[in-house]
Structure 1
Amino acid sequence: MKTFTKTSLIISTYNWPEALRLCLLSVREQSVLPDEVIIADDGSTGQTAEVIEAMRPLLPVRLLHVWQEDEGFQLSKIRNKAIATSSCDYIIQIDGDLVLHRHFIKDHLRLSKRGTFVAGSRVLMSRELSDTMLRAQKPGVSPFQPGLGNFSNRFSISWLSRYMADRYKTHDIFALRGCNMAFWREDLLRVNGYNEMFHAWGREDNEIAVRLINAGLKKRAAKFGGVAFHIYHAEADRGGCRENEVYLTDALLNKTVYCNQGLHQYLHNAEPARLTENEFAL
Protein backbone atom coordinates (compact mmCIF):
# COMPACT_ATOMS: atom_id res chain seq x y z
CA MET A 1 0.00 0.00 0.00
CA LYS A 2 1.41 3.41 -0.99
CA THR A 3 0.67 6.39 1.21
CA PHE A 4 2.10 9.88 1.47
CA THR A 5 0.63 10.45 4.93
CA LYS A 6 3.24 10.43 7.69
CA THR A 7 1.89 8.56 10.69
CA SER A 8 2.70 8.55 14.39
CA LEU A 9 1.52 5.62 16.49
CA ILE A 10 1.07 6.77 20.10
CA ILE A 11 0.93 3.97 22.67
CA SER A 12 -0.10 4.87 26.22
CA THR A 13 1.22 2.68 29.02
CA TYR A 14 1.61 2.40 32.77
CA ASN A 15 3.64 -0.27 34.56
CA TRP A 16 2.85 -3.29 32.41
CA PRO A 17 6.08 -3.94 30.49
CA GLU A 18 5.13 -7.49 29.45
CA ALA A 19 1.99 -6.25 27.71
CA LEU A 20 3.83 -3.33 26.15
CA ARG A 21 6.49 -5.64 24.70
CA LEU A 22 3.80 -7.87 23.15
CA CYS A 23 2.09 -4.78 21.75
CA LEU A 24 5.35 -3.57 20.20
CA LEU A 25 5.98 -6.97 18.69
CA SER A 26 2.59 -6.70 16.98
CA VAL A 27 3.62 -3.27 15.69
CA ARG A 28 6.76 -4.81 14.18
CA GLU A 29 4.57 -7.28 12.23
CA GLN A 30 2.43 -4.59 10.58
CA SER A 31 1.91 -4.86 6.83
CA VAL A 32 2.26 -1.06 6.73
CA LEU A 33 4.47 0.43 9.42
CA PRO A 34 3.91 3.80 11.08
CA ASP A 35 6.66 6.37 10.52
CA GLU A 36 7.32 6.64 14.25
CA VAL A 37 6.16 5.06 17.50
CA ILE A 38 5.80 7.18 20.63
CA ILE A 39 5.34 5.55 24.03
CA ALA A 40 3.19 7.82 26.22
CA ASP A 41 4.28 6.65 29.66
CA ASP A 42 2.24 7.88 32.64
CA GLY A 43 4.96 7.35 35.26
CA SER A 44 6.07 3.73 34.87
CA THR A 45 9.16 2.40 36.67
CA GLY A 46 12.46 1.61 34.98
CA GLN A 47 11.27 -1.82 33.83
CA THR A 48 9.19 -0.19 31.12
CA ALA A 49 12.16 1.90 29.96
CA GLU A 50 14.25 -1.28 29.77
CA VAL A 51 11.65 -2.95 27.54
CA ILE A 52 11.58 0.07 25.25
CA GLU A 53 15.37 0.14 24.96
CA ALA A 54 15.46 -3.60 24.24
CA MET A 55 12.79 -3.23 21.55
CA ARG A 56 14.42 -0.24 19.86
CA PRO A 57 16.77 -2.27 17.60
CA LEU A 58 13.93 -4.66 16.71
CA LEU A 59 11.68 -1.96 15.26
CA PRO A 60 12.51 -0.57 11.82
CA VAL A 61 11.03 2.85 12.71
CA ARG A 62 11.87 5.57 15.23
CA LEU A 63 10.81 4.70 18.79
CA LEU A 64 10.44 7.54 21.31
CA HIS A 65 9.73 7.35 25.02
CA VAL A 66 7.79 10.26 26.52
CA TRP A 67 7.64 9.87 30.31
CA GLN A 68 6.23 11.87 33.21
CA GLU A 69 6.31 11.48 36.98
CA ASP A 70 3.72 9.18 38.54
CA GLU A 71 1.22 11.60 40.06
CA GLY A 72 -1.86 9.44 39.76
CA PHE A 73 -3.97 8.93 36.65
CA GLN A 74 -2.78 11.56 34.15
CA LEU A 75 -3.65 9.95 30.82
CA SER A 76 -4.82 13.17 29.18
CA LYS A 77 -1.58 14.93 30.11
CA ILE A 78 0.76 12.22 28.82
CA ARG A 79 -1.21 11.89 25.59
CA ASN A 80 -0.88 15.63 25.06
CA LYS A 81 2.87 15.45 25.62
CA ALA A 82 3.14 12.60 23.12
CA ILE A 83 1.07 14.52 20.55
CA ALA A 84 3.32 17.55 21.04
CA THR A 85 6.33 15.33 20.39
CA SER A 86 4.88 13.84 17.21
CA SER A 87 6.48 14.88 13.93
CA CYS A 88 3.78 13.41 11.67
CA ASP A 89 0.53 14.62 10.08
CA TYR A 90 -1.65 11.73 11.24
CA ILE A 91 -1.84 10.24 14.72
CA ILE A 92 -3.12 6.76 15.52
CA GLN A 93 -3.66 6.25 19.23
CA ILE A 94 -3.74 2.95 21.11
CA ASP A 95 -3.09 1.55 24.57
CA GLY A 96 -0.19 -0.68 25.44
CA ASP A 97 -2.45 -3.58 26.40
CA LEU A 98 -3.47 -4.26 22.81
CA VAL A 99 -2.21 -6.80 20.29
CA LEU A 100 -2.72 -5.38 16.81
CA HIS A 101 -4.01 -7.22 13.75
CA ARG A 102 -1.26 -7.16 11.12
CA HIS A 103 -3.28 -4.75 8.94
CA PHE A 104 -4.15 -2.38 11.81
CA ILE A 105 -2.12 0.60 10.54
CA LYS A 106 -3.03 -0.13 6.91
CA ASP A 107 -6.73 -0.18 7.78
CA HIS A 108 -6.51 3.12 9.66
CA LEU A 109 -4.70 4.82 6.79
CA ARG A 110 -7.40 3.63 4.39
CA LEU A 111 -9.99 5.29 6.64
CA SER A 112 -8.08 8.56 7.07
CA LYS A 113 -9.93 11.48 5.52
CA ARG A 114 -9.61 15.21 6.01
CA GLY A 115 -12.40 16.68 8.12
CA THR A 116 -12.86 13.46 10.11
CA PHE A 117 -11.46 11.47 13.00
CA VAL A 118 -11.72 7.70 13.36
CA ALA A 119 -13.06 5.71 16.30
CA GLY A 120 -12.37 1.99 16.55
CA SER A 121 -13.13 -0.78 19.00
CA ARG A 122 -11.42 -3.84 20.47
CA VAL A 123 -11.76 -7.58 20.89
CA LEU A 124 -11.67 -8.77 24.49
CA MET A 125 -9.41 -11.72 25.25
CA SER A 126 -10.02 -14.07 28.15
CA ARG A 127 -7.67 -14.21 31.12
CA GLU A 128 -6.43 -17.64 30.01
CA LEU A 129 -5.66 -16.58 26.44
CA SER A 130 -4.05 -13.37 27.66
CA ASP A 131 -1.80 -15.22 30.10
CA THR A 132 -0.75 -17.63 27.35
CA MET A 133 0.13 -14.84 24.96
CA LEU A 134 2.01 -12.84 27.58
CA ARG A 135 4.12 -15.88 28.43
CA ALA A 136 4.83 -16.76 24.82
CA GLN A 137 5.37 -13.16 23.67
CA LYS A 138 4.07 -14.06 20.21
CA PRO A 139 1.58 -11.54 18.79
CA GLY A 140 -0.32 -13.67 16.27
CA VAL A 141 -4.05 -14.04 17.01
CA SER A 142 -6.48 -16.13 14.96
CA PRO A 143 -10.02 -14.69 14.85
CA PHE A 144 -11.51 -18.13 15.49
CA GLN A 145 -9.37 -19.24 18.41
CA PRO A 146 -10.98 -19.86 21.82
CA GLY A 147 -10.91 -17.07 24.36
CA LEU A 148 -12.03 -14.18 22.15
CA GLY A 149 -15.19 -12.12 22.51
CA ASN A 150 -16.82 -9.49 20.28
CA PHE A 151 -17.16 -11.72 17.21
CA SER A 152 -17.86 -9.01 14.61
CA ASN A 153 -14.85 -6.96 15.75
CA ARG A 154 -12.33 -9.70 14.91
CA PHE A 155 -12.19 -9.34 11.14
CA SER A 156 -10.37 -6.98 8.79
CA ILE A 157 -12.46 -6.78 5.60
CA SER A 158 -11.45 -3.76 3.54
CA TRP A 159 -14.56 -3.34 1.37
CA LEU A 160 -16.91 -3.76 4.33
CA SER A 161 -14.83 -1.36 6.41
CA ARG A 162 -15.14 1.30 3.71
CA TYR A 163 -18.90 0.72 3.52
CA MET A 164 -19.39 0.96 7.29
CA ALA A 165 -17.08 3.92 7.93
CA ASP A 166 -19.73 6.61 7.48
CA ARG A 167 -22.72 4.47 8.42
CA TYR A 168 -21.91 2.81 11.75
CA LYS A 169 -22.95 4.87 14.82
CA THR A 170 -21.53 8.05 13.31
CA HIS A 171 -23.47 10.30 15.70
CA ASP A 172 -22.95 8.22 18.84
CA ILE A 173 -20.17 9.79 20.91
CA PHE A 174 -20.22 6.80 23.26
CA ALA A 175 -19.47 4.31 20.45
CA LEU A 176 -15.72 4.80 20.66
CA ARG A 177 -12.69 3.66 22.63
CA GLY A 178 -9.74 5.87 23.44
CA CYS A 179 -7.54 2.80 23.03
CA ASN A 180 -8.25 2.82 19.28
CA MET A 181 -8.67 6.24 17.68
CA ALA A 182 -7.01 8.29 14.95
CA PHE A 183 -6.79 12.02 14.26
CA TRP A 184 -5.17 14.58 12.01
CA ARG A 185 -2.63 16.37 14.19
CA GLU A 186 -3.83 19.80 12.99
CA ASP A 187 -7.32 18.98 14.28
CA LEU A 188 -5.95 18.08 17.71
CA LEU A 189 -4.09 21.41 17.76
CA ARG A 190 -7.31 23.18 16.84
CA VAL A 191 -9.17 21.87 19.91
CA ASN A 192 -6.07 21.97 22.18
CA GLY A 193 -5.86 18.20 22.52
CA TYR A 194 -7.03 16.35 25.58
CA ASN A 195 -8.62 18.15 28.51
CA GLU A 196 -6.27 17.78 31.48
CA MET A 197 -9.06 18.47 33.95
CA PHE A 198 -9.61 14.70 33.72
CA HIS A 199 -7.66 13.17 36.62
CA ALA A 200 -9.38 9.78 36.77
CA TRP A 201 -10.44 7.02 34.42
CA GLY A 202 -13.22 7.60 31.93
CA ARG A 203 -14.84 9.97 29.40
CA GLU A 204 -11.72 11.90 28.35
CA ASP A 205 -12.01 10.18 24.96
CA ASN A 206 -15.71 11.04 24.62
CA GLU A 207 -15.06 14.64 25.60
CA ILE A 208 -12.39 15.22 22.98
CA ALA A 209 -14.70 13.62 20.41
CA VAL A 210 -17.44 16.10 21.36
CA ARG A 211 -15.08 19.05 20.93
CA LEU A 212 -13.85 17.75 17.56
CA ILE A 213 -17.46 17.40 16.38
CA ASN A 214 -18.23 20.89 17.72
CA ALA A 215 -15.28 22.10 15.61
CA GLY A 216 -16.99 20.73 12.50
CA LEU A 217 -15.34 17.33 12.15
CA LYS A 218 -17.22 14.11 11.48
CA LYS A 219 -16.68 10.81 13.23
CA ARG A 220 -15.83 7.76 11.11
CA ALA A 221 -16.00 4.20 12.41
CA ALA A 222 -13.26 1.59 12.15
CA LYS A 223 -15.65 -1.33 11.79
CA PHE A 224 -14.25 -4.46 10.11
CA GLY A 225 -10.91 -2.70 10.14
CA GLY A 226 -8.38 -1.44 12.66
CA VAL A 227 -8.73 -4.70 14.59
CA ALA A 228 -7.10 -4.83 18.04
CA PHE A 229 -7.14 -7.58 20.65
CA HIS A 230 -7.33 -6.45 24.27
CA ILE A 231 -5.20 -8.24 26.87
CA TYR A 232 -7.24 -9.12 29.95
CA HIS A 233 -6.80 -7.12 33.14
CA ALA A 234 -8.95 -6.08 36.08
CA GLU A 235 -11.17 -3.07 35.44
CA ALA A 236 -9.82 0.36 36.33
CA ASP A 237 -11.08 2.25 39.36
CA ARG A 238 -14.10 4.21 38.18
CA GLY A 239 -14.45 6.34 41.27
CA GLY A 240 -13.73 9.57 39.41
CA CYS A 241 -16.11 8.89 36.55
CA ARG A 242 -18.93 11.00 38.02
CA GLU A 243 -16.78 14.15 38.00
CA ASN A 244 -15.65 13.34 34.47
CA GLU A 245 -19.29 13.08 33.38
CA VAL A 246 -19.66 16.71 34.47
CA TYR A 247 -16.84 17.79 32.14
CA LEU A 248 -18.38 15.82 29.29
CA THR A 249 -21.83 17.29 29.88
CA ASP A 250 -20.32 20.78 29.97
CA ALA A 251 -18.70 20.26 26.56
CA LEU A 252 -22.00 19.00 25.14
CA LEU A 253 -24.15 21.81 26.55
CA ASN A 254 -21.75 24.66 25.82
CA LYS A 255 -20.69 23.42 22.37
CA THR A 256 -17.09 23.65 23.55
CA VAL A 257 -14.32 23.43 20.96
CA TYR A 258 -11.19 24.50 22.81
CA CYS A 259 -10.21 23.31 26.29
CA ASN A 260 -8.17 25.69 28.44
CA GLN A 261 -5.79 23.15 29.94
CA GLY A 262 -4.49 21.11 27.04
CA LEU A 263 -1.92 20.46 24.34
CA HIS A 264 -0.53 23.89 23.49
CA GLN A 265 1.34 24.32 26.78
CA TYR A 266 3.85 21.67 25.61
CA LEU A 267 4.45 22.79 22.06
CA HIS A 268 7.28 25.22 22.88
CA ASN A 269 9.14 22.34 24.58
CA ALA A 270 8.68 19.85 21.76
CA GLU A 271 10.54 20.39 18.51
CA PRO A 272 10.01 17.03 16.76
CA ALA A 273 12.85 17.45 14.28
CA ARG A 274 15.34 17.84 17.14
CA LEU A 275 14.34 14.76 19.10
CA THR A 276 16.52 11.67 18.97
CA GLU A 277 15.54 8.07 19.49
CA ASN A 278 17.31 7.93 22.85
CA GLU A 279 15.81 11.10 24.27
CA PHE A 280 13.27 11.09 27.07
CA ALA A 281 11.12 13.98 25.93
CA LEU A 282 9.41 16.54 28.12
Structure 2
Amino acid sequence: MIPKSISIMVSTYNWPEALERCINSIFLQDHLPDEIIIADDGSREETLILINKLKNTSPIPIIHVWQEDHGFRLGEIRNKAIIASNHEYIIQIDGDIILDSHFISDHISLVEKSAFLCGSRVWITQEQSAEILENPPGFSINRNKFPISTILNSLRNSSLSHFLADKYKKNKPTILRGCNMSFWKSDLLSVNGYNEDIQGWGSEDAELAIRLINKGVKKRFLKFSAVAYHLYHKENSKANFDKNEKILNLTIQNKITWVDNGIQKNGSS
Protein backbone atom coordinates (compact mmCIF):
# COMPACT_ATOMS: atom_id res chain seq x y z
CA MET A 1 0.00 0.00 0.00
CA ILE A 2 1.82 3.09 -1.23
CA PRO A 3 1.05 6.38 0.58
CA LYS A 4 -0.44 9.08 -1.63
CA SER A 5 1.66 11.75 0.07
CA ILE A 6 4.55 11.90 2.52
CA SER A 7 5.93 14.31 5.11
CA ILE A 8 9.44 13.87 6.46
CA MET A 9 9.79 15.15 10.03
CA VAL A 10 13.27 16.23 11.13
CA SER A 11 13.91 16.93 14.82
CA THR A 12 16.70 19.36 15.68
CA TYR A 13 18.26 21.37 18.49
CA ASN A 14 21.07 23.90 18.10
CA TRP A 15 23.18 22.06 15.51
CA PRO A 16 22.61 23.87 12.20
CA GLU A 17 25.78 22.45 10.62
CA ALA A 18 24.43 18.90 10.98
CA LEU A 19 20.89 19.96 10.02
CA GLU A 20 22.16 21.45 6.74
CA ARG A 21 23.81 18.14 5.78
CA CYS A 22 20.69 16.24 6.79
CA ILE A 23 18.32 18.42 4.74
CA ASN A 24 20.67 18.31 1.77
CA SER A 25 20.50 14.50 1.86
CA ILE A 26 16.70 14.80 1.64
CA PHE A 27 17.06 16.97 -1.47
CA LEU A 28 19.13 14.17 -3.05
CA GLN A 29 16.54 11.42 -2.54
CA ASP A 30 15.44 9.34 -5.52
CA HIS A 31 11.89 9.82 -4.19
CA LEU A 32 11.30 13.28 -2.76
CA PRO A 33 8.78 13.75 0.06
CA ASP A 34 5.92 16.20 -0.36
CA GLU A 35 7.15 18.41 2.48
CA ILE A 36 9.85 18.72 5.12
CA ILE A 37 8.76 19.55 8.66
CA ILE A 38 11.53 20.69 11.01
CA ALA A 39 10.60 19.92 14.62
CA ASP A 40 12.78 22.40 16.50
CA ASP A 41 13.06 21.94 20.27
CA GLY A 42 14.12 25.53 21.01
CA SER A 43 17.13 26.24 18.79
CA ARG A 44 18.73 29.68 18.68
CA GLU A 45 18.63 32.13 15.76
CA GLU A 46 21.43 30.40 13.81
CA THR A 47 19.08 27.52 13.03
CA LEU A 48 16.30 29.87 11.87
CA ILE A 49 18.75 31.65 9.54
CA LEU A 50 19.77 28.31 8.03
CA ILE A 51 16.16 27.17 7.58
CA ASN A 52 15.24 30.40 5.80
CA LYS A 53 18.23 29.88 3.47
CA LEU A 54 17.18 26.29 2.78
CA LYS A 55 13.63 27.40 2.00
CA ASN A 56 14.99 29.55 -0.83
CA THR A 57 16.59 26.58 -2.59
CA SER A 58 14.29 23.72 -1.57
CA PRO A 59 12.33 21.93 -4.31
CA ILE A 60 9.61 21.15 -1.74
CA PRO A 61 7.90 23.10 1.07
CA ILE A 62 9.75 23.39 4.39
CA ILE A 63 7.69 23.99 7.54
CA HIS A 64 9.52 25.12 10.68
CA VAL A 65 7.79 24.19 13.95
CA TRP A 66 9.53 25.74 16.98
CA GLN A 67 8.99 25.78 20.73
CA GLU A 68 10.83 27.61 23.51
CA ASP A 69 13.84 25.91 25.06
CA HIS A 70 12.67 24.51 28.39
CA GLY A 71 14.85 21.43 28.37
CA PHE A 72 14.65 18.24 26.30
CA ARG A 73 11.00 17.99 25.16
CA LEU A 74 11.30 15.89 22.04
CA GLY A 75 7.89 14.25 22.38
CA GLU A 76 6.14 17.61 22.62
CA ILE A 77 7.82 19.16 19.57
CA ARG A 78 7.19 16.00 17.55
CA ASN A 79 3.50 16.18 18.47
CA LYS A 80 3.40 19.77 17.22
CA ALA A 81 5.08 18.68 13.99
CA ILE A 82 2.59 15.83 13.54
CA ILE A 83 -0.26 18.34 13.83
CA ALA A 84 1.47 20.61 11.30
CA SER A 85 1.97 17.84 8.73
CA ASN A 86 -0.25 17.99 5.66
CA HIS A 87 0.16 14.45 4.40
CA GLU A 88 -1.03 10.96 5.27
CA TYR A 89 2.33 9.30 5.94
CA ILE A 90 5.16 10.60 8.15
CA ILE A 91 8.80 9.54 8.01
CA GLN A 92 10.61 10.55 11.20
CA ILE A 93 14.33 11.27 11.40
CA ASP A 94 16.75 13.30 13.50
CA GLY A 95 18.62 16.33 12.21
CA ASP A 96 22.02 14.75 12.87
CA ILE A 97 21.71 11.92 10.37
CA ILE A 98 22.55 11.81 6.68
CA LEU A 99 20.30 9.71 4.46
CA ASP A 100 21.27 7.25 1.78
CA SER A 101 19.72 8.39 -1.51
CA HIS A 102 17.22 5.48 -1.43
CA PHE A 103 16.12 6.13 2.16
CA ILE A 104 12.59 7.37 1.44
CA SER A 105 11.91 4.89 -1.36
CA ASP A 106 13.05 2.07 0.96
CA HIS A 107 10.51 3.16 3.56
CA ILE A 108 7.78 3.35 0.93
CA SER A 109 8.59 -0.14 -0.35
CA LEU A 110 7.72 -1.70 3.02
CA VAL A 111 4.68 0.36 3.97
CA GLU A 112 1.59 -1.62 4.95
CA LYS A 113 -1.80 -0.62 6.29
CA SER A 114 -1.94 -0.64 10.13
CA ALA A 115 1.84 -0.97 10.42
CA PHE A 116 4.76 1.27 11.35
CA LEU A 117 8.39 0.92 10.33
CA CYS A 118 11.58 1.25 12.32
CA GLY A 119 15.11 1.07 11.00
CA SER A 120 18.63 1.35 12.34
CA ARG A 121 21.51 3.75 11.83
CA VAL A 122 25.21 3.67 11.11
CA TRP A 123 27.35 5.37 13.73
CA ILE A 124 29.92 7.65 12.11
CA THR A 125 33.17 8.03 14.07
CA GLN A 126 34.14 11.36 15.63
CA GLU A 127 36.96 11.76 13.11
CA GLN A 128 34.81 11.03 10.07
CA SER A 129 31.97 13.22 11.39
CA ALA A 130 34.38 16.14 11.69
CA GLU A 131 35.50 15.54 8.09
CA ILE A 132 31.90 15.57 6.87
CA LEU A 133 31.10 18.79 8.71
CA GLU A 134 34.26 20.51 7.47
CA ASN A 135 33.26 19.86 3.85
CA PRO A 136 30.28 21.28 1.91
CA PRO A 137 26.86 19.55 2.11
CA GLY A 138 26.81 16.59 -0.23
CA PHE A 139 30.34 15.46 0.69
CA SER A 140 30.62 11.72 0.03
CA ILE A 141 30.65 9.35 3.00
CA ASN A 142 33.49 6.84 2.79
CA ARG A 143 32.08 3.49 3.94
CA ASN A 144 35.59 2.00 3.93
CA LYS A 145 36.30 3.97 7.09
CA PHE A 146 33.44 2.40 9.06
CA PRO A 147 34.31 0.18 12.03
CA ILE A 148 33.57 -3.50 11.39
CA SER A 149 31.06 -3.42 14.27
CA THR A 150 28.79 -0.98 12.41
CA ILE A 151 29.38 -1.72 8.74
CA LEU A 152 26.50 -4.25 8.61
CA ASN A 153 23.99 -1.44 9.07
CA SER A 154 25.37 0.30 5.98
CA LEU A 155 24.60 -2.58 3.62
CA ARG A 156 21.54 -2.38 1.36
CA ASN A 157 19.79 -5.40 -0.12
CA SER A 158 16.15 -5.08 -1.15
CA SER A 159 15.39 -8.82 -1.19
CA LEU A 160 16.82 -9.39 2.29
CA SER A 161 15.03 -6.30 3.55
CA HIS A 162 11.63 -7.58 2.45
CA PHE A 163 12.37 -11.06 3.82
CA LEU A 164 13.33 -9.75 7.27
CA ALA A 165 10.69 -7.02 7.64
CA ASP A 166 8.39 -9.15 9.82
CA LYS A 167 11.08 -11.44 11.24
CA TYR A 168 14.00 -9.34 12.46
CA LYS A 169 13.81 -8.81 16.25
CA LYS A 170 10.11 -9.66 16.05
CA ASN A 171 9.86 -10.43 19.77
CA LYS A 172 11.68 -7.26 20.89
CA PRO A 173 9.14 -4.49 20.33
CA THR A 174 11.10 -1.82 22.22
CA ILE A 175 14.22 -2.30 20.08
CA LEU A 176 14.02 0.63 17.67
CA ARG A 177 15.63 3.93 16.73
CA GLY A 178 13.58 7.10 16.84
CA CYS A 179 15.89 8.67 14.26
CA ASN A 180 14.59 6.23 11.62
CA MET A 181 10.88 5.45 11.86
CA SER A 182 7.72 5.99 9.82
CA PHE A 183 3.98 5.92 10.49
CA TRP A 184 0.56 6.54 9.03
CA LYS A 185 -0.52 9.87 10.51
CA SER A 186 -3.92 8.37 11.32
CA ASP A 187 -2.24 5.69 13.48
CA LEU A 188 -0.32 8.34 15.42
CA LEU A 189 -3.53 10.27 16.03
CA SER A 190 -5.33 7.11 17.16
CA VAL A 191 -2.97 6.79 20.16
CA ASN A 192 -2.70 10.57 20.74
CA GLY A 193 0.90 10.83 19.57
CA TYR A 194 3.87 11.04 21.90
CA ASN A 195 3.51 10.97 25.67
CA GLU A 196 4.60 14.44 26.79
CA ASP A 197 5.07 13.23 30.37
CA ILE A 198 8.31 11.75 29.04
CA GLN A 199 10.90 14.53 29.12
CA GLY A 200 14.67 14.32 28.91
CA TRP A 201 16.44 11.62 26.93
CA GLY A 202 15.07 8.11 26.66
CA SER A 203 11.97 5.92 26.13
CA GLU A 204 9.71 8.30 24.18
CA ASP A 205 9.91 6.30 20.96
CA ALA A 206 9.61 2.88 22.63
CA GLU A 207 6.60 4.02 24.66
CA LEU A 208 4.84 5.28 21.53
CA ALA A 209 5.67 2.02 19.71
CA ILE A 210 4.18 -0.09 22.51
CA ARG A 211 0.93 1.89 22.46
CA LEU A 212 0.70 1.45 18.70
CA ILE A 213 1.26 -2.30 19.09
CA ASN A 214 -1.32 -2.44 21.88
CA LYS A 215 -3.72 -0.70 19.47
CA GLY A 216 -3.13 -3.42 16.87
CA VAL A 217 -0.62 -1.59 14.68
CA LYS A 218 2.13 -3.95 13.57
CA LYS A 219 5.84 -3.17 13.87
CA ARG A 220 7.94 -3.87 10.77
CA PHE A 221 11.73 -3.60 10.77
CA LEU A 222 13.90 -2.02 8.08
CA LYS A 223 17.07 -4.10 7.85
CA PHE A 224 19.44 -3.79 4.88
CA SER A 225 17.46 -0.76 3.70
CA ALA A 226 16.71 2.87 4.63
CA VAL A 227 20.36 3.39 5.53
CA ALA A 228 20.96 6.38 7.82
CA TYR A 229 24.37 7.70 8.87
CA HIS A 230 24.45 9.16 12.38
CA LEU A 231 26.95 11.94 12.99
CA TYR A 232 28.99 11.66 16.18
CA HIS A 233 27.97 13.74 19.17
CA LYS A 234 28.30 13.53 22.93
CA GLU A 235 25.61 11.55 24.73
CA ASN A 236 22.57 13.42 26.02
CA SER A 237 21.94 13.63 29.74
CA LYS A 238 20.16 10.55 31.10
CA ALA A 239 18.99 12.26 34.29
CA ASN A 240 15.31 11.43 33.63
CA PHE A 241 15.89 7.97 32.21
CA ASP A 242 14.61 6.00 35.23
CA LYS A 243 11.42 8.06 35.40
CA ASN A 244 10.84 7.61 31.68
CA GLU A 245 11.44 3.87 31.92
CA LYS A 246 8.75 3.63 34.62
CA ILE A 247 6.25 5.25 32.25
CA LEU A 248 7.28 2.79 29.52
CA ASN A 249 6.90 -0.20 31.85
CA LEU A 250 3.42 0.93 32.93
CA THR A 251 2.42 1.18 29.27
CA ILE A 252 3.60 -2.38 28.73
CA GLN A 253 2.02 -3.81 31.88
CA ASN A 254 -1.34 -2.08 31.50
CA LYS A 255 -1.57 -2.42 27.70
CA ILE A 256 -2.16 1.33 27.40
CA THR A 257 -3.12 2.69 23.98
CA TRP A 258 -4.00 6.32 24.76
CA VAL A 259 -2.27 9.00 26.83
CA ASP A 260 -3.96 12.10 28.20
CA ASN A 261 -0.89 14.32 27.79
CA GLY A 262 -0.36 13.89 24.07
CA ILE A 263 -1.53 15.70 20.95
CA GLN A 264 -4.91 16.22 22.56
CA LYS A 265 -4.89 17.44 26.16
CA ASN A 266 -8.54 16.86 27.16
CA GLY A 267 -8.07 13.22 28.13
CA SER A 268 -10.74 11.92 25.77
CA SER A 269 -10.17 9.34 23.05
TM range (shorter): over 0.9
**What is the CA–CA distance in structure 2 between the aligned matches of 1:87 and 1:170, rounded to whole Å?**
31
SS in structure 1 opposite 2:43? coil
Residue aligned with 1:263, SS: coil
Deviations 1:29-59 (A, max 9, x none): 0000011000000000010011111111222
1:128–1:143: structure 2 CA closer, same or farther, 3 Å change rule? closer
CA distance in 2, matches of 1:132, 1:140: 9
The 5-angstrom pairing of residues 95-244 of structure 1 reads 95-142=94-141, 144-148=143-147, 150-244=150-244
CA distance in 1, matches of 2:90, 2:42: 22
Question: 1:90 is matched with which residue?
Answer: 89
Equivalent position amino acid for 1:198 in 2: I
Name the structure 1 match of 2:254.
254
Contact 1:200 1:238 in 2 (8 A): yes
Partner of 1:274: none
Are the counterparts in 1 of residues 3 and 88 from structure 2 also a CA contact under 8 Å?
Answer: no
Q: Which residue of 2 aligns with 1:263?
A: 263
Unaligned runs of at least 5 residues, structure 1: 267-282
* Kept after mapping to 1: 8 A contact 2:20/2:137: no
Instruction: Map Cα deviations across residues 238-281 of structure 1 (whole Å, 9 max, x no partner).
Output: 11100001000000011000011001359xxxxxxxxxxxxxxx
Tell me how many residue pairs correspond in the alignment. Answer: 265
Query: TM-score w.r.t. structure 2 length?
Result: 0.95
1:140–1:30 distance in 2 versus 1, CA, 3 Å: farther
* 1:142 Cα deviation from its structure 2 partner: 4.6
Deviations, residues 179-223 of structure 1 (Å, cap 9, x unaligned): 110000000000000000011100010000000000001100010
CA contact (8 A) 1:41 1:65 kept: yes
The TM-score normalised by the length of structure 1 is: 0.91
CA distance in 2, matches of 1:84, 1:198: 19
Q: Which amino acid aligns with 1:48?
A: T
Runs of at least 5 residues in structure 2 that lack an aligned partner in the other structure: none
Q: Which moved more, 1:27-36 or 1:140-149?
A: 140-149
Correspondence for 2:16:
17
Say if 1:12 and 1:4 are closer, same or farther in 2 by CA, change over 3 A: closer
Shift of 1:111: 1.1
For residues 22 and 153 of structure 1, what CA distance do their matches in structure 2 show? Answer: 20
Letter in 2 for 1:100: L
Runs of 4+ off more than 4 Å: 140-143
Matched AA of 2:8:
L
Secondary structure of the structure 2 residue equivalent to 1:91: strand
CA distance in 1, matches of 2:265, 2:19: 28
Q: Which amino acid aligns with 1:92?
A: I
Whether the 8 Å contact between 1:143 and 1:155 is mirrored in structure 2 is no
Contact 1:143 1:154 in 2 (8 A): no
Q: Name the counterpart of 1:272.
A: none
Task: Give 1:152 shift.
Answer: 1.4
CA contact (8 A) 1:43 1:69 kept: yes
More deviation, 156-165/217-226:
156-165
The CA deviation string for residues 53-75 of structure 1, in whole angstroms up to 9 with x for no partner, is 11112221110100000011110
Aligned pair in 2 of structure 1 residues 140, 154: CA closer, same or farther (>3 Å)?
farther
Report what 1:277 is aligned to: none
Corresponding residue for residue 27 of structure 1: 26
Where 2:238 maps in the other structure, the secondary structure is: coil
- 2:37, 2:81 within 8 Å by CA — same for their partners in 1? yes
